[in-house]
Amino acid sequence: MSELKYRFRQAKNYVMFSITFLCTLLTVGVLFFILGYMVWHGASSLNWDFFTKLPKPVGEPGGGMANAIVGTGKLLLIAALIGVPVGFLGGVYLSEFGRNNRIGFLVRYATDILNGIPSIVMGIFAYTVVVLPMRRFSAVAGGIALGIMMIPIALRSTEEFLKLVPNSLREASLALGIPQWKTIIRVVIPTGFRGILTGIMLDLSRVAGETAPLLFTAFSNRFWSAGWLQPTASLPVMIYTYSIAPYEDWHRQAWAAGLVLLMLILFVNVVSRLVLRRRLAMGV
Amino acid sequence: MRLAPSLGGPFREANWGDRALHILTLGFALSIFALTALIALALYRNSILSIEKFGLRFLWGTTWDPVFEQFGALPFLFGTLVSSGIALLIAFPLGLGVAIFLSELAPRWLSDPIAFLIELLAAVPSVVYGLIGIFVLVPWVRDDLTPVLKKTLGFLPIFSGPSYGVGMLTAGILLAVMVVPFITSLSREVLMAVPASQREAALALGATRWETTRMAVVPYARSGVMGSMFLALARALGETMAVTMVIGNRPEIAASLFAPGYSMAAVIANEFTEATYDLYLHALVEIGLVLFAVTIVVNALARLLILAVARKSAEVQV
Amino acid sequence: MVRKRILSQAVLRMLFFVLAAASMLLPQAAPAQTLVNGAGATFPYPIYSKWFDEYYKLHPNAQINYQSIGSGGGIRQISELTVDFGATDAPMTDEQLSKAKTAIFHLPTVLGGVVPIYNIPGLSAELKFTAKALSGIFMGTIRKWNDPEIAGVNPGIALPGNDIVVVHRSDGSGTTYCWTDYLSKVSPAWRAQVGRSTSVNWPVGLGAKGNEGVSGLVKQTPNAIGYVELIYATSINIPYGTVQNSSGNFVKASLESVTAAAAGAAKNMPPDFRVSITNSPGKNAYPISTFTWLLVPQQFTDATKGKILVDFLKWMLGEGQRYAAGLGYAPLPPEVIEMEKQTIARIRY
């Protein structure tokens, strides 16, 4: 009898794990499908022009998205300048000073709420607070909207990776007479640095694909946008604009833009992985 | 965690350097809190006309009529919650299944690249998801999935009525694909962090690998897994672009999952630029405020749940 | 070792910033160029983008950047003066004009038509629609394709007994304004129950985003009907029907029929150009036509921008009109052009 029961349990074991294997196959399959679809539709539009020329008006084939690529770069730079310091320093507070107190709890809760605000509401907020007073659309407004969206994840990853640093390291440093602030800056943060960097890079790549907050802040631009106070084109907005137009050539360019964006994000991911792997190998 | 020497109380660190860093980081941390409060305030102030006109009736009003100035949020609330609910219902078992496979079964050289690939799914822009939803998912749901569901489960009211391809179910499926990466990568990390001693103990008692996973590993990691679920839920609640392309954009409450619906984020995205008079604009912002409130409530529930579970497992754990 | 790591990180960071800064400096606009921003209707986006590009070739110092965020968006942004000019398919109401931060001129640019597109499997013939049929379908009172109201005017065409799937716009739009304006004129029930606006409470149907969304959804969904701008229907090769006008003729939307609709209106054009030309009299008039307008401040604070825009407007009324036909838009009738030139002369900068 117990032999039968054991066989049954073994069968169940096999079945359940097969199910998980199938789940994995399904998920990875979906990913490859999405990638393949984009390549199939957009690869033909990826040429040198795409990366160097400005968009052409409707009906004229060719043209490119050079200004959108640069525009996305500008927006991400501003977003990083806002999101990273705030998230990073807030995370340092939560990990080093605020692990168990009321302020820490409130800040964590507020961060979770901030994370859950839809991107469009963030865009409306930036519109009200930046665009209206300035009476213009600008890259700065778009960057601010994206930067605020970056804060929660930057904060969370900083906090988590700093918490992973063992207390023994802090205690050793303090035992040597190094003040706490120096301990944090010279010992704790460098130890957790690679993980924090990964988190921030992932944060950046997620924000790079956001469209809704840019529609009422950075607007868009058919031309090169000079400086920071002018509307600027960006890859997600171009994808959106081109995909809802009735021109086949523009559809292909939209898919190509999606590919470029995805390749950019892939690149960021790969780099951050490589960075993290070396840190793990060093055994810290 | 007060490891450094102090003179007692806040900001009484023994040297000025510690105090400076404490104040600096505290300032930035509080700024986040202030920012969130500011956003809530901005939402409130920009929806005041609508709040004054409709009061609480806004929450259960079912009419959305910009011409005759009647606004109610219930269909959108329903749509957001249902589509997110479907998404989680699909994504949670799927994501957990993948996480279990990657942490328990797959060897490291396979598990790491696959986890990386799945995280890539999180990086695909939502516009692209929407487009693939329109061109691939919508026809598939209408032509392939609907007949199968109707044949097997057609007697259920949730699978009744005509299916156009766009609708609540399609939106739920698309959202599921978008949030699976969150559940998978977080759960995988947490499952891998479960100490080997737990597994070894179960195996030593004669459990199969699956029984070990089910009884020893997953329960240990329960709070982390649930945390991932709430992160996924937050993403699903706020998703705008992809949802509006496949949900049918019809502000109606229907029993069938094939029926078109509407979500809060989608209506804001669709009508914000075209809101031609103030009350209309304020009504849209009030929908944003309702979404904000839903996020607060969901987060509160999440924290309470995790607290309760942590307390319970603390009692059980040695 | 820690120091080496921190150093390499710092170097990487600096490199990133240097690259970013360099990319900002590289392709900059020549110092004499002025950027003029405009926002508004999606309907005329193709012709506007063509015009601004052609004008830019002739005047390299004038960069006119137009983004289509919707008519309501155009109205709002110009009212707030976050852009230099707006564009709309639906004229501003008196209330909106009074709330704007500056006095605004409505300047018609081109004409367009909104057509009913449909997708009936196996049927490629051109269907005729009466006003009653269209209003009935979109109100949900006419449910099936073989309803007498539709079948009656389409003898010889085998219409199926399938349910009609109505598709409308989910986002607010001037196209919707034109369509509902027409339905309000021909159907008292529609006017009482639904009304005219850029966004309405549709009695039935699925919502799709943008002209492209509607045409895409109709193309994909069997037994569907929707409404889009003429150019979208022709570019994706989907059958669109003829509509019965107020004289009783079934007219297909075309440059001629749309211009005919405007010709009647030209005689009674109000001085501020805010006129609706749906269901206009005229044997060959297409009943669902509309002007589209640029919203231009009467007084520019920035003289350079004002001059550029005024010069562009003059060009648009002359050379510009020749590009309209090629992109599927009907050019303005000569009487309207004359009236407009006088209004443009009143813009101060």
> Rounded to 5 degrees, what are φ and ψ at A233?
-75, 155
pTM above 0.90, yes or no: no
Please name the member of A132, A197, A222 whose beta carbon is closest to the beta carbon of C65: A222
For residue B111 the two structure tokens come to 């598990």
* Per-residue pLDDT at C230: 86
For residue A105 the two structure tokens come to 């709890």
Q: How many CB atoms lie within 10 A of CB C81?
A: 16
Q: Residue C175 carries which side chain, given as an amino acid letter?
A: T
Res C221 pLDDT > 70? yes
Q: Residue B196 carries which side chain, given as an amino acid letter?
A: A
Whether the CB-CB separation of C207 and C172 falls below 8 Å is answered with no
Q: Looking at residues C129-153, what average pLDDT do you find?
A: 94
Helix axes B74-100, B278-316, angle to 10 degrees: 40
Res C27 pLDDT > 90? no
C63 has a chain A CB within 8 A of its CB: yes
Q: How far is A49 from chain B (nearest CA, A)?
A: 22
- Dump pLDDT digits (tens) for A151-207: 988 888 788 778 878 888 899 999 999 998 899 988 888 887 767 777 777 778 778
| Alpha carbon distance, N-terminus to C-terminus of chain C | 65
For residue B65, the cross-strand partners are B70
The CA distance from B12 to B19, in Å, is 7
- Dump pLDDT digits (tens) for C156-175: 898 999 999 999 998 878 88
Whether the CB-CB separation of A266 and B120 falls below 8 Å is answered with yes
DSSP β-ladder status, C165-169 and C224-229: parallel
B261 has a chain C CB within 8 A of its CB: no
DSSP annotation of B246 reads H
What is the Rg, in whole angstroms, of the alpha carbon atoms belonging to chain A?
Answer: 24
- Dump pLDDT digits (tens) for C229-243: 888 888 778 899 999
Q: Looking at residues B72-100, what average pLDDT do you find?
A: 93
For residue C44 the two structure tokens come to 């005329």
Percent of chain C whose pLDDT exceeds 90: 47
Judged by average pLDDT, the poorest of B211-215, B293-297, C234-238 is C234-238
Res C139 pLDDT > 80? yes
Specify burial of residue C135 (Cβ count, 10 A radius: 0-12, 13-18, 19+).
buried
Residues A17, B105: C-beta atoms closer than 8 Å: yes
Residues C29, A73: C-beta atoms closer than 8 Å: no
Nearest 5 degrees, angle CA B265-CA B270-CA B274?
A: 130
Structure ipTM: 0.81
Nearest CA in chain C to A138: C82
* Per-residue pLDDT at C87: 94
DSSP annotation of C85 reads E
Q: Say how far residue B62 (Cα) sits from the centre of its chain.
A: 24
Res C142 pLDDT > 90? yes
- B39 vs A contacts (CB less than 8 Å): 114, 117, 121-122, 125
Whether the CB-CB separation of C289 and C278 falls below 8 Å is answered with yes
Characterise C152 by phi-psi region: left (phi > 0), alpha (psi -120 to 50), beta (else): alpha
Res B98 pLDDT > 90? yes
> Rounded to 5 degrees, what are φ and ψ at C328?
90, 15
Looking from the CA of B235 toward its CB, the CA atoms found within 13 Å total 29
Q: How far is B112 from chain C (nearest CA, A)?
A: 25
Nearest CA in chain B to C95: B277
Please name the member of A58, A136, A190 whose beta carbon is closest to the beta carbon of C5: A190
Residue found by looking up tokens 């069968």 in the block: A11
Return per-residue pLDDT of chain A as tens, 284 residues.
Answer: 688 888 999 999 899 999 999 999 999 999 899 888 888 888 887 888 788 888 877 667 777 888 888 898 889 889 999 999 999 999 999 988 888 888 888 898 888 888 878 888 888 899 888 988 888 889 999 999 999 999 988 888 788 778 878 888 899 999 999 998 899 988 888 887 767 777 777 778 778 888 888 988 888 888 888 888 888 999 888 888 887 776 778 888 888 888 888 787 777 777 776 776 665 554 33
Number of H helices, E strands in chain A: 13, 0
Q: Which whole-number Å values give the CA distances from C176 to B30, C6, C70, in the listed order?
A: 46, 59, 11
Q: Looking at residues C288-317, what average pLDDT do you find?
A: 92
Looking from the CA of C218 toward its CB, the CA atoms found within 13 Å total 31
Whether the CB-CB separation of A230 and A71 falls below 8 Å is answered with no
For residue A36 the two structure tokens come to 């393949």
Characterise C32 by phi-psi region: left (phi > 0), alpha (psi -120 to 50), beta (else): alpha
Closest Cα partner for B209 from A26, A18, A24? A18
